[in-house]
Amino acid sequence: MQMHRAGRLAEFPLLGPEDVFDNRYTKGDGCWLWHGTKHAYGYGVFLLPGDVPVRAHRYAYERVHGPIPDGLVVMHSCDNPPCVNPAHLSLGTRDDNNRDMSQKRRNRSGATHHWTKLTDEQVQEIRQTRPKTQSHSGEVRSGRIHYFQHQDRETALLLAHG
């Protein structure tokens, strides 16, 4: 059913979600690249009626394959977040997605991880200056010892609690 606006804008039809979606990507030989709004990590996002945000790759998957069961995520075989080609999308668990990311070496670690507070050099300094005992490692894991970067110095400091 085609909906129309009243008054002066009556000649301009309102677009349904499929039309909005189809106007925001470009089909290529491989990936279909989303050129609409993107999430911080590069995934496409658009609004369904009622201003409900939805990730474009999830919408693309559901259009072709149906609803996504609870507990599953949509994974990209192409590892390209803006891709909305249903042939590049499959379902998996978060563990499946994390395993896929690790196997393809797309996971960030060390200084490139977004939660990193220490540089690789600071980590090496800590490793060289602290004892390599099981009890020390256990204290770090349990939270009795924390490493942090002091605001006034570039070197990593050791803070022992209690």
CA–CA gap between residue 32 and residue 88 (Å, rounded) = 9
Map out the domains of the chain as residue ranges.
Answer: 7-107, 120-160
pLDDT-flagged residues of the chain (< 70): 1-14, 105-116, 118, 130-162
Nearest-CA neighbor of 77 among 46, 106, 118?
106
> Residue 150: its pLDDT value, please?
47
Distances in Å between the Cα of 117 and the Cα atoms of 101, 109, 138, 146, 151 are 23, 12, 20, 12, 11
Domain 7-107, CATH class in plain words: alpha beta
pLDDT for position 48: 84
Q: In this structure, which amino acid lies at residue 16? A: G
For 143, how many CA atoms within 13 A lie in the half-sphere containing its CB? Answer: 0
Question: In 3-state terms, what secondary structure has residue 125?
Answer: helix
How much is the pLDDT for 158?
47
